[in-house]
Structure 1
Amino acid sequence: MMDTHDDIFAVARELPQHERAPYLDEACDSPEQRARVEALLKDANEADAFFAGMDAPRAPEIAEKAGDTIGRYKLLQRIGEGGFGVVFMAEQREPIIRRVALKIIKAGMDTRDVIARFEAERQALAMMEHPGIAKVFDAGATATGRPYFVMELVRGMSITTFCDVHEYDTRRRLELFSEVCAAVQHAHQKGIIHRDLKPSNIIVGLDGDRPVVKVIDFGIAKAMQQQLTDKTLFTRFEQFIGTPLYISPEQASLSAIDIDTRSDIYSLGVLLYELLTGKPPIEASELMAAGFDEMRRIIREKEAPRPSTRLATIEDEEIRTIAKARHTQPKTLGFLIRGELDWIVLKALEKDRRRRYETANALREDLGRFLRNEPVSAAAPSRLYQMRKFVERHRRGVTMAALVAAVMVAATVVSMRQAIRAKKAEDVAVASLANVAAERDEKDRARREAEDVAKFLTEVFASPDPTISGRQVTVAESLERASKKLETDFADQPDRRAHFQHALGNTYNALGLYQEAIDLQEKAYYHYLNRFGKEDERTLSTASDLALSYAFGNKPGYAGRLQEELLEFHRRHDGPDDPKTIAAMQHLAISYDTVGRATTALELRVEVLDRTLKRFGADDPRTLSAMQNLAISKDRNGDKEEALKLREEVLSKLQKVRGPEHPDTLRAISNLTISYDQAGRHEESLKLREQVLETSHKVLGSEHPETMLRMENLAGSYERVGRRDEAMRLRSNAADLRRIAMEKSPEQSLRTMVEIAAAYGQAGREGASQALWEAIGRRAEQELPAKPTWEHQDALLARAEWRARQGHWRTAAEDTSHLIDLSAQSIRFLHQAALLSRANDREGYRNLCHKALEAFANSPYLLDAERASKICWLMPGIDFDRNLAHSLSDRSLGLEDYSHSWALLNKGLCAYRLGEFQVAAEHLEKCLTSGLAPEGMAAAQAVLAMTRQSTGGNAAANEMLQAAGKTLGNAFAQADDTPQQVPFGQWYDWLIARCLYEEAARELTKP
């Protein structure tokens, strides 16, 4: 159908001058038609100029004004105006008196398709019945024949303005937005697409204190399943309808693709983006400055930045205003949005509508999951997808860049290798002219090795074709391919293979993949050890890195043994002040700390600081590292004030020496927050943690273990200052990031799964936590017969703890009993004792006591003696070899440092059970001043309360029982056994304390 000159003129007349030419290019079917329309526009412009120049009144318009009456409605005032219609507030006179909104086509705009659109809106609204959509009351025509309809008068303001004025936080904005989704879903179910969803078309008013959402202006709505009017409703080919900032790419494409409900989903995504950040994804100024075609290209192709990323680009003054309108702080706002909300918004804003939410209800449900701390269906856009989009736009440039990069990698590796080898050869030549031949051979070997290295790295890190692989290729996967290639490509070159295993192991370590690092570094270490001996430079270097991977990978015992050997060698071979010796001391102190030898670690670190100051000076990074580590030891040995001073000094110097974004600086900030929290300076700690997390996201990335740890630390700060919702949200985001990192690797460790499951539990997402715990149990049980590794056993132990936290004592006890059969560790016996005591299984408990004494009576380890003795004394009235248990409690007093405190508790409990109340009191009172952890302190207080009760000190006994209850209250709810925020692995000690406290409460209330 060809549009008439008048039709095209009527639309062009309302467009701004700069938009008319592009519109006429598309709308006119012939040069003659275009010339005719341009002549009409010229005449109209000249008429306007004439009347303006005469300063005379305009030609009379056939238009209504306030005070006029249309049918039974009196127009009160104009309250709105769109492209085709004018809206009045009117008063209905009969059959009832009420205020309404009356919309009427503008004078001069009553062309056929405008009337058709107007009637379509009237019919669309009449079809819908939803509290979130303005109701239609009546319809008719004016005396001049222009149609109008009457609808519910919606009082309020746009949704964005309403939220800003009332300073709605993120949660309340999402709840309000969810009501908008519900209204749009209703329209879609009725077959209506709005096609112009934007803030001004979503009005929010108040009904008392309750906000009420109304979606208005279906003026450009489209029927999907039926004809809304018998008049012709035709959208011109290559003419888009809607507001550019909010329209979907398919609306801007002007193609033959039909518009469906997913176009409204895109507009909802833009609205959600603006509600969260105060800005639309594309700046209005950018679209206004672009020509018509460029504006369409921007809408179709420009990817929206993540909302959290967009916030980071806003100027300080403006971001403070945006954050205030959301009732939070600027830095906090980014943390709250980062993660799941980023993913939800970006899914709604997908350029490809097939990747968007299918329905408004699906978007609403995902927001509901977010608000309930449940896993959302949206996921972070994969780097593969982003790369594919980039390649599609820059295919030729990417191809050339890849070729150049491959050549550069090879050339760089060759050059570096040759330079290193040449330098070594030069040093040899200077030392002895007799080594000229050896120098030449070394250079030839270095050249060949460099060529092999370049070839190997180019093949390993050349990414597969994304269109073939169809999934994301991660750095970890490339490294895995590299480690497998080493076994084949260097099968006959074991020395070179070991060299690469060592290097790739260090890369794994840097990525936080510690078990993978250990697997490779162990192979390299044992190869060098067997081939060159323990004092070869290659063996020593690999041993040092392997020890660090052991330490980071939760194997401090392995790390300590290696580091003691390294330290002994370097002291003997290099001297006490050599950098290698000092580094070995630092590393060994870390391992000592981890296994509880805090005093020994402190002594080592004092020596390290003294030697680094003399050797390197006060501002050297190695000296600052020594100060940082000494602060850790001071803290753990009770000198909190000195630790705080050291940490403040370290941070001040690191910011100058290393810069604000260096990993050492970030760790220094994190350590200082610990001291601030211990000193009660929680707000200062919180601000620093916000700062370090923001930098960590930028420098290390969201999925690095240190970033996720800092998210959890910040969540702890939020809890301490009472911002529990933000704490839960951050813990949830951290758990999701761990889950995403886990899902990217096909062989993720069970330990990682345990960490994620525990984090979900702490974030209040019990459903997600339970599902993961069940998966952990199934996998561990399936793999355990074939791979009875520590990892599998630890996973089952964690699953047992989770079951116990749910109150399933007997099933948890079955898990630990199975683990005892696999590996008779004293700590597992203690876990089993705690569970059997809580379940009041006296028969099972008695059998466990006999089994523990038999297993550990002659153990050379004092920790075994302490645990075996404690197992026997936890539950009263049990028959076992008391003399043997007593002797073991005496032996355990030989434990040093922190472990000695637990031995004092055990001795006090033993003496109380034997009726030696004075001995019990002496040991328990020492225990209370030994710096014991809160869970041990609560247990000691409970036993001391019973001891004082037995000697007639009722008042002192009650006072001590109250102290124990207060200590326990920090971890347990008042009426159940569920710990609120106790990390996994520490829970059994809290459970023991709980059992002893309940026993004390019963004893003190006996008549």
Structure 2
Amino acid sequence: MTAEEQAQWIAEIVEVALEREPAELPSFLQEACGDDAALRHEVESLLGYQKEATDFIERPAYEANATLLAGEDRAEKIGEILGQYKIISLLGEGGMGEVYLAEDAQLGRHVAIKLVKAGFGRASLVRHFQREERILAALTHPNIARLYGGGITPDGIPFFVMEYVEGERVDVYCDRHALNFRDRLQLFRKICSAVAYAHQHLVIHRDLKPSNIRVTPEGEPKLLDFGIARLLEDETTSVTEQTMTLAGVMTPDYASPEQVRGEAMTTASDVYSLGVILYELVTGTKPYRTKSRRLDEISRAITEQEPPRPSTSIAKGSPQSAIRNPKSLRGDLDNIVLKTMRKEPARRYASVGQFSEDIRRHLEGLPVIARKDTIAYRTSKFVARNRIAVAAAILIALAILAGLIVSLWEAGNARRQRDVAQRERSKAERINKFLQDMLGSAAPEVRGIDIRVSDVLGEAVRRAKDDAVNQPDVMADVLLTLGRTYVSLGQYPAAEDTLRAALGASLKANGEANLTTARIMAWLGLTLPFQNKPAEGETFARKAVELLPKSPSSTPEDLGVALYGVGLGLIGESEPKAAQPFLHDAADVLKKYLGEKHGYYMASIVMLAKAHEGSGDRDGAEALYRQAITIGQNTEYRFRIYLAQAAAFLGSMLSSKGNYVEAEQTLRLSEAVYREQMGDSTMSVGAVLQYLGNVYLAQGDYAKAEAELRKSQEILAKTLNREHPSTLTSTALLGLSLSRAGKAAEGEPYLREALTMRRKILAPNDYLIPLTESALGECLTIQKRYEEAEPLLTHGYEGLKSLLGDQDRRVIGARQCLAKLYEEWGKPDKASRYR
């Protein structure tokens, strides 16, 4: 064994030892080191292990017991001042650094401070810590320990300050509180929500384990220690660092097969680790059986053994486990857990969100994605492992004609299954290579440290378009995924461009009668109405509704999205009544398939409410909006975006009814959630600020109205464009607010711009045109330019009356403006006609 191999082997033993229980440690060291006294001495030295010590325990980043870790250097840290923080005590030590409890003198709170550990390659660890600080700074989620800041000690050691989490590891918490089956799964879904959030920000954890998940006294899980997380945007690490397996960084019991083999890791690796954690939470035991704790044996088990079904392991679990009924695991939950732990990443759940969603569906008695392996698949795996034995069996079977026929049929079926699997695997590998190459170009050394997710997405789209020339089948799926990501971020221009490129690639590779093509059309149906192209969006969505039932692999979710797109397009075409049946059907399908707490269902009832509102059924609309808000307040973090949407529309409607106090409160709720979920400068925030400006305008608070409307117009002009209908609404309202505030000369250009563009882009019978004419006439009246104002006010009033009827509040307002014009102009007879 070379010196390098010896050092790696020692590091492997140390890391595993740090995970062992006190009673296990002596036997583990005996198994790992055998009769090699020098090896054991070196390991014990690194552990700080004394033979008389019997209380050696595992030490994750925040474990509050550091007795055996205390040394001269660490003792010197106690009492040290780092900026506003005073170090109180050592909390624990991980493979990468030491963690101290400190007091924040300014805010009077306890924090955790993490410093690079002395030795073990300080230079590489400094880079690692700098990377970890960037990772944590990008993550803001209620179930992820927060990053407060960072700096450099006087000794030149990087440190960063994190939320101090009081609590206990998740498995201990579940047992000590005797959580039942459902409670454990619900708690686990919160953990999944945090990991899914990290994945959405291009971060994989790579070291998920119970000791990195703490549960607070309030029962909230906190995901800790992104100490070995690989920031997908950061490819500056060496190949050796990227492919580290058991060398003192990763915890082997929770490592995926690809981690153990030193292969590239993706989000599927975290899915696997979560599956192992869930296995332990519901059974009280680990999934793999080994004779010893030697790392090579653990590695073999992970890469070669198939874990037993959880329902068969439960009786052998921890005596503290509250899960004692194997029947509660049989069937769907067995399949869910085992799907996460499949050896091939492509056969696991596509995402942590999909994994969590399957758990939810299981809890609610709905059909799940996970299924048992087919006979053909298990047969092909058996053949791959036992080629000689199978060949002998086939030779014997040749003597029997019936056996020959059956064998030939099954062999043909296995080949077909293998061919399909090979195509899908090849496709998955090409997609993964694309992502690796794309994210590699986003390295901070190439693009700068402050790289944004939008930069990565933009680069991904450009590369995918180029690659679509030679790989249209692969890039169609990639571009669809990227397009959907843009939709979720509210970046509709980029979404449209990306989805159109996806459609071109899919039509080239697959033709029209294809599931990927149909899905792309459905998502174009969702996107184009936000691009002021509702008719085209409706056309795409209707085509998707036609194509999806013809694909055996399509899901009710696909159909629900397409139906929703049809309804959205019809609303954009001012056909709210026609939109209602499509949105009603979409809501029914999505509720049945996904459950009422899913975001897509919430979105469908919000738009159904919008259709009712547009049809004049404001009471029905209000009830649906409030239903969506109630659901949103009790749903997953990632679906709160639809709570914001419902609150925005309800607030706008309440304002139109004159209920300004509740309207403002509801809109502020929407604004807060949008900012929390999407950032401060998105189209959705711009729209809510527009609604708020209108509330203040209606109440005569012109200063507040101007402030909100200026921000709204600026945001919408950047995220959409200056000529977009939504931007023009903010432009017109800003002009009107300025006019009524006594700054009519300043407001006039805004109103003229809005009127010019609305006449250009809107249908001739759109009520917004006469409404803007009336507003401009009011602005000119304030400036005493009565001759210019009269034709605008007259035409505006007549147009609104013909479109909206005599009793509409906007018609009444236009009539009052005419009366005021003639009164100020000294024409009382004409003024009396409009009183």
TM-score normalised by length of structure 2: 0.44
